[in-house]
Structure 1
């Protein structure tokens, strides 16, 4: 029985919307040529859009030129297809043909497609031209078009232009506000992003999942735990905690803020966690140094029938590395391709080199790098370099440093680490040469900073800091605490001071490290039952690590320090890292 022509046409259009292959698209075109014609322009428009979205620009253009009746919808289909592939030049070419050759005026749909392509490709001049066209056509009252322009200017970093657009908008919808929050967060203005969220609420606009995703990122950038708890409360109130992606974002945020217990609670409340949620919890265990727990979680994940991928194994190997689980890490690295079909990538090799290096197996780590099937990057060499620094192997360290210098000559951290390695070995002349090389290259050393939240504010400390309003109280408290832990048997690790000075000077220098000042401040301003949570931008030194252990014992306080590598949980004189970091 022959199919009704309208039914046949509807079937073809439905097929095109789900088409993912060029051969299938051509087969549908053949059916159209054989059984229908292009007088009904819609099927032709759909074919053009399909070819464009599949990256077949020439096929789309040739078919488009064959269409007997090309209206605005036809041109929009062509431009929209090009836009989805980011073909800015082809979008503009079609735009100019439509407008100047055919005399067809674009509408907001046309302009939105081109703006989208400009945003994805960073085509600033072209996007500004389309903005001007929208102004001349008088269509800037269309909220969706303005949202597209906000997104475009946000991605180009033009926050002033974003602000002007928002100021002139007739009515901002939830998408508009979400864009404002996301744009400011992505452009390192997270505090402004939160301010826009507050304005959004005052405007009577209810947040959606897009709002929350941007807010969670803003909270992570700001590092404010109280703000995060407020956002968590808002999520619960709006019922958004049932969305797995939102719950996963919260889990990840709390882990990065040092609240692993909160992460565990949220994970336990997720119904049917997906692979991303399992992996986020695995990453949380890894960064906090709970390798055994990460392994148990991985086994539970497998029992639930969730297949691991390359990201899962990256965090699993990282967890093994931070816990000294050498044999376990080797086993996971070996079964990745054999059992799960996950071929090792650079991140996996970096984790394995880090695992071997942290355990003092520097030669094994070096051999692994030599036999890698791909060229090692700075992450792989950097993992070995860190191990050379820890174990004082300046000879191998120099070789690795040369590799890093060639890969990234502008990274000051590599020069600093080599200089510190020479200093620790008493090779002061070599250390001086490296620092002179840094100066010649114009490289600047980032100072060590420690941060602690109190009173809805982040307090920042650097070594020997005297700028804090409560500086006198902080130093008095620090002196008092240092006295207590010395009586308990603490001895300063002055070898951590990498300067050729007298022992007394070393002790004075090391006693004023930023971590110690932050801990003293925390003891002054926080309640006895709450943990002192500190973030450090560099790796914590051995002396500060020992100091934190003794203070946690003497003061009976939980101290959590996140350095550039991982979290350290100090309680009753013991660190969660087992002195392995």
Structure 2
């Protein structure tokens, strides 16, 4: 078109920008942007919206924001592009801030807006904000929309409120396979295996055909709940009844299911018959099971599968060390650590973040320099007393350092997650999600 000297108009640029967005062609999009400015189309609302959308879908939120700020006005489509772009880039908090700004400017959100905002709430586990959005959805009349309903179910599940999940799901006028997958995924996430199986029966009774994601959710739920026989039945029916070929995710779930149950040889055989290149997460799931059940011989054999192919991953060294630690072989633990150091693999310290009263706090294991550390220790001691009363005994065999038993117990009880939870508990009202 350019070679024939046909002058582009706004529709031309909208089409070109949509093409760039669809194939994530950022540099070509920037070249188109330069032409848009040269041709004087940069003040056109449709071209501006397409520019924002292109930059957002290409992951360049700074450019998207720059174009957005220069636009004389914003419609709901433009706001949606910005909100969805920030969600895609993992900036859930920024997406929520934009939604609040959109409301202040009096732009009415649509179903796409609410789906994006709910995804933002889910990504940062913002339950209270999600409930406020839910209320706005009801007031706007979008609560009967299946896409919004699916996002509500997903948001509540990821925020840990399964009661709200069930309430929203039951009120939906209809359910598609995405609706069922969302609630099944919530059951899997929270270990509700039997509930997932009941829901699957209900799904089939309503005539909704499951897909491959349905079975990933089901198998994961069975794995987390220790339902070995049920998981085996689901896997078999997926293949024979629903004619769905197992993918690496399904096989990894089965490896995890069998491994947790101590059926290590069955799990290993399943990996060996997987089509194509062995799936590394499946081997890691089996190695973790070897640690739990103390099978050093298999653990060594499994570790070789990816320590040779992916020698730069520190997680694998830790898993193999844990296998040796479970068997009480401190010497082999040290050998693994030496090999990690020789290969220059950095073992990053585990870190936990928690947001309390709009302030983010960071912890590492044994952290002693956080301001309210005395109160945190006091809360941990209270919790440990309650745990001891119901029979909890610290399992120190996986603490790799050669230290006294009392020091090992201290390390376990002052893990970064425990420190963060203690801070959350002493700074929030009872029943508040952390």
Taking structure 2 as the reference length, the TM-score comes to: 0.93
How many Å apart are 1:112 and its aligned residue? 1.8
What is the alpha-carbon distance in structure 1 between the residues aligned to residue 377 and residue 71 of structure 2? 53
Q: The residue matched to 2:179 in structure 1 has which SS?
A: helix
Moved more, 439-448 or 243-252: 439-448
- The equivalent of 1:155 in structure 2 is 57
- The equivalent of 1:380 in structure 2 is 282
CA RMSD of aligned residues (A): 2.2
How many Å apart are 1:453 and its aligned residue? 4.6
Q: Does 1:187 align with 2:106?
A: no
In structure 2, relative to structure 1, the CA distance for the partners of 1:480 and 1:292 (3 Å cut) is closer
In structure 2, relative to structure 1, the CA distance for the partners of 1:170 and 1:523 (3 Å cut) is closer
1:253 maps to which of 151, 155, 166: 155
The runs of 5 or more residues in structure 2 that have no matched partner are none
In structure 2, relative to structure 1, the CA distance for the partners of 1:276 and 1:486 (3 Å cut) is closer
- The equivalent of 1:304 in structure 2 is 206
Residue pair 1:184, 1:190 contacting (<8 A) in 2 also = yes
How many Å apart are 1:163 and its aligned residue? 2.1
Q: Does 1:361 align with 2:263?
A: yes
What is the alpha-carbon distance in structure 2 between the residues aligned to residue 515 and residue 338 of structure 1? 43
What is the alpha-carbon distance in structure 2 between the residues aligned to residue 436 and residue 96 of structure 1? 62
In the alignment of these two chains, the number of paired residues is 434
Residue pair 2:376, 2:423 contacting (<8 A) in 1 also = yes
Larger Rg: 1
What is the alpha-carbon distance in structure 2 between the residues aligned to residue 409 and residue 251 of structure 1? 40
What is the alpha-carbon distance in structure 2 between the residues aligned to residue 222 and residue 489 of structure 1? 34
Q: Does 1:126 align with 2:28?
A: yes
- The equivalent of 2:299 in structure 1 is 397
How many Å apart are 1:179 and its aligned residue? 1.1
Q: Does 1:205 align with 2:97?
A: no
In structure 2, relative to structure 1, the CA distance for the partners of 1:445 and 1:237 (3 Å cut) is farther
Q: Does 1:417 align with 2:319?
A: yes
What is the alpha-carbon distance in structure 1 between the residues aligned to residue 48 and residue 201 of structure 2? 49
- The equivalent of 1:541 in structure 2 is none
Matches within 5 A, 1:325-336: 325-336=227-238
What is the alpha-carbon distance in structure 1 between the residues aligned to residue 299 and residue 139 of structure 2? 54
Q: Does 1:168 align with 2:70?
A: yes
How many Å apart are 1:486 and its aligned residue? 4.1
In structure 2, relative to structure 1, the CA distance for the partners of 1:489 and 1:294 (3 Å cut) is closer
How many Å apart are 1:138 and its aligned residue? 0.4
Structure 1 residues 134-156: Cα deviation after superposition (integer angstroms, max 9, x where no partner): 11110111122112222222233
Residue pair 1:358, 1:387 contacting (<8 A) in 2 also = yes
Q: Does 1:97 align with 2:10?
A: no
The runs of 5 or more residues in structure 1 that have no matched partner are 1-94, 535-581
Residue pair 2:115, 2:151 contacting (<8 A) in 1 also = yes
How many Å apart are 1:356 and its aligned residue? 0.8
- The equivalent of 1:116 in structure 2 is 18
2:167 maps to which of 259, 265, 278: 265
What is the alpha-carbon distance in structure 2 between the residues aligned to residue 119 and residue 438 of structure 1? 42
How many Å apart are 1:296 and its aligned residue? 0.8
Residue pair 1:224, 1:458 contacting (<8 A) in 2 also = no
In structure 2, relative to structure 1, the CA distance for the partners of 1:297 and 1:239 (3 Å cut) is same
In structure 2, relative to structure 1, the CA distance for the partners of 1:170 and 1:487 (3 Å cut) is closer
Residue pair 1:412, 1:444 contacting (<8 A) in 2 also = yes
Q: Does 1:277 align with 2:183?
A: no
